[in-house]
Structure formats: C-alpha cells, structure tokens
Amino acid sequence: MAMIIDGKAMAMGIRKEVAEKVADLKKTTGVEPKLMVVLIGEDPASTIYVKNKEKACKETGINAETIRFPAEIKEEEVVAAVKEINRQKETHGILVQLPIPKHISEEKIIEAISPEKDVDGLHPNNLGRLLKGGLPWFVSCTPMGIMEMVLSTGVEIKGKEAVVVGRSNMVGKPTALLLLARHATVTICHSRTTDLKEVCKRADILVGAVGKPELIKGDWIKKGAVVIDVGINRSEKGLVGDVDFKQAKEVAGYISPVPGGVGPMTIAMLLKNTLTSAARSAGYHLE
C-alpha cells in the first residue's frame, strides 16, 4: 500500500510559514505583498479559482486584488492594463487567469507581464531561464508544487527514470525541466505516444498531467514508484485525477490523491512566489 502524499497538509504548513514571513516583512520593512489577478470574462471555473486565490492571499496577509474585464474586451486594452500594473510599485505579482477568450492572444498578454512580476512563471524569459538551468524570476506554481511533493518522499531523484505524461507549458514541460535539473532521466509523453502504458511502467517517478480521468491504471505503474497526479477531472464519481487512485495505491510507493494533492500545493506556491517577489523588492532576505 502506497504512502499518501498529503498535499493539503503540506500546503497548510507552507501557508503558515508564508504567513509568518509576510507578517515579519510588513513589520520590518512596511511592505505588504500584493497580487493582482486579471480575470477576463465570467467562466464559472475561473471565477471559483480566482476567488480561492484571493481567499488564500487574505488568510496569509497578502493583499489581493482582481481586475475584471468583460469577455469582449479588446486585446490592446488588456495589454495596456497589464503594463500599467507592471508600473505599480505596490504590486509584486501579476497573474492572468487562464484560459482567456479566443480573440485575445494569450502569448501577447503573458509577454506584456514584467518577468519580475510574473509569479505564474509563464513569461518566455522565465521559461527560457528555467530551460537554461539558470535562475528564473519565478517557476510556475504547479511544477514547483509537484517538485516539493516528490522531494517530501525522500526518494532520490538523481539517476531515476521520471516520466511526465502531458506536455503543457504550464505543467508538463516545466516539470520535466525541474526533474532534469535534479538529474533524473526524463521522458515526456503525450497523446501521440504509441505505447503509453509501457512508457509509464518505466517510471520511478510518474507525473500524470494530461487531463484524462483515471487514464493511468494500476498495471501501468512500476512497483514502489512515486506517483504525482496533477489531473482534476469531473466524472460521474466526482473529482478524479489522471490516475486510477484505487488501483494505483496498491502498486505505487507514494501517491498524491485528488482532491487534496497537487491542487492545494499550487495555491501555496503562488503565495510563496508573491512573498518572494515582495521580499525582493523590499531587499528583505528570505532564508
């Protein structure tokens, strides 16, 4: 039986730590970390995500504000608004809630964000620095959370086979690079992979980030593997991950559940990135 990687509990611990540091930052420098969220349109899921982020910020002492635009807003108006936020000294993090309406180029909006305030780590400059193994201003929150979870198991990453299922810019590719930087042998697979089961079975560390309910079965998993499930899929059974949890937990060494796994860690990492940004701007040393 696998050990459960309790993302919720880990996230709570991180949030407590962030809250303490935020309080100290305010006390010693007078700087209050501030996150500005840009929300375009009224997609119900996005609205909930944004509300959760705002709530988490507030509970940690981070000031959060959401700037809302109607779905029909013009691209250049959003770009102008983002550039205006870049200039606001009191704002340390900018996050554009994705997805955005089709008539607006996601690329253009993301590239308008100053890399130094890009707490979501999606600006090409940050992704490029990540690729180079240098120091990006920020690493995307979900991959950061995944790495914390893998590290929490104590399993050595160096020399291990890591398999990332899914090649998104927000999760799959950055996670692969982080695992590579920790010296794993990394395979990225996706919808065109010919024999996904066989590839998954090689993995000492398996990350499911493909958005297909319970795609990864128990017999796709190597005995003792660390399994991180990034999927959040609505199904008849309620929320399920990309991994068939019931089967997988019989085989894996460690497994993260859905819900209560990667999700809470992603928000915790957003808080951490926002704190980091504020601390940098205040010259405050975070140990």
| Residues engaged in binding its own copies (CB under 8 A) | 107, 123-134, 158-161, 167, 169, 173, 176-177, 180, 183, 185-190, 192-194, 199
- 228 burial type by CB count under 10 A (0-12 exposed, 13-18 middle, 19+ buried): buried
Q: Which residues contact 282 (CB under 8 A, 6 or more apart)?
A: 25, 29, 31
Residues with active-site annotation? 53, 97, 120
190 versus 280: smaller Cβ distance to its own copies: 190
Answer for the pair 3, 257: CB distance below 8 angstroms, yes or no: no
Residue 94, strand partner residues = 36
In the complex, the smallest distance separating the C-beta of residue 155 from its own copies, rounded to whole angstroms, is 14
In the complex, the smallest distance separating the C-beta of residue 270 from its own copies, rounded to whole angstroms, is 20
Answer for the pair 100, 40: CB distance below 8 angstroms, yes or no: yes
Give the residue among 79, 81, 87, 88 at the shortest CA–CA distance from 111: 79
Alpha helices (H) along the chain: 7-29, 44-60, 75-87, 106-112, 124-131, 141-152, 172-181, 196-201, 245-248, 262-282
Task: Give the three-class secondary structure for 48.
Answer: helix
88 versus 105: smaller Cβ distance to its own copies: 105
167 versus 249: smaller Cβ distance to its own copies: 167
In the complex, the smallest distance separating the C-beta of residue 115 from its own copies, rounded to whole angstroms, is 9
37 versus 176: smaller Cβ distance to its own copies: 176
Residue 149, phi then psi, degrees to nearest 5: -70, -45
CA-to-CA dists, residue 60 to 45, 158, 169, 232, 271, angstroms: 23, 34, 28, 25, 8
In the complex, the smallest distance separating the C-beta of residue 197 from its own copies, rounded to whole angstroms, is 12
In the complex, the smallest distance separating the C-beta of residue 208 from its own copies, rounded to whole angstroms, is 15
